[in-house]
Amino acid sequence: MHRVVLSDMSERKRLEAAMLAKHAELEYARGVAQAANQAKSEFLSRMSHELRTPLNAVLGFAQLMDTASPPPSPEQAASLQHILRGGWFLLELVDQILDLSAIESGKLTLVMEPVSLPEVLLDCEAMLGPQANAAGIRLRTHLPEGPWVLRADRGRLKQILLNLLTNAIKYSRAGSVVEVSCGAASAERVRVSVRDSGEGLSLEQFAHLFEPFNRLGQEFGDRPGAGIGLVVSRQLAEAMGGTVGAQSTMGVGSVFWVELYRIT
């Protein structure tokens, strides 16, 4: 009996020692992962800031040349438009990487305040109306009745909606309609939905929808993008207490939505 008790105590001590060693190993691995993630975020932030200066210079000189007197020749004007489109795309990508870096490093700053949803929706429609018209797409916004005030960071909310609308316009068929609608997701939350008439997503594509830099097979297509906008949009929404989600049907189109808390 005495031997059995001693044996049990020895086994217990051995298990406790093994658990302590495993805990220390996990803590060390977590520290290494956190350090690596912090180093990655700092690298992305520094590189993004360094890229902004030459990009702004390129865009500035291209704009000066485009509006110079005498005006550029048709061939020169076409080349300048290529430079401007590429430059603006790269600048947008830099901003998105900076946002992602700030979110992952916990340095994202939000100014949470009452925000009028109808006002933000009208601003977005005014900003993207010309782009939709140029693509032969009608942008239809169904404004909610009443004030519909949300608790959000106004600039970040507009950033999310502009991203969802830009994607909808980009992937919709010419002659179709992109619809924006609002509804109550719950007693406390509002859902703003953006419906397109694109090709839709397969189950496999949908499973990878919110992976950074995953363009879901569009890498070699003619539509610009880096596969990071949706990731940033979801994380921004989550930082404001909401979320971003989607539904999609192949051959019919997709609905992307953002949910946030409503004040009134």
| Rounded Cα distance, 55 and 205, in Å | 33
Are the CB atoms for 237 and 257 separated by under 8 Å? no
Pairing assessment for the beta strands 113-116 and 189-195 based on DSSP bridges:
unpaired
| Rounded Cα distance, 197 and 79, in Å | 32
* pLDDT at 88 > cutoff 90: no
Say which residues have a Cβ less than 8 Å from residue 241's Cβ, sequence separation at least 6: 151, 260, 261
* pLDDT at 221 > cutoff 60: no
* pLDDT at 46 > cutoff 80: no
Express each pLDDT in 114-133 by its tens digit: 999 999 999 999 999 988 99
- Choice between 195 and 100, residue whose per-residue pLDDT is larger: 195
| Rounded Cα distance, 191 and 150, in Å | 11
- Among 44-48, 117-121, 137-141, 238-242, name the one with the lowest average pLDDT: 44-48
- What domains can be seen in the chain, in order of their start residue? 2-104 (1.10.287.130), 113-261 (3.30.565.10)
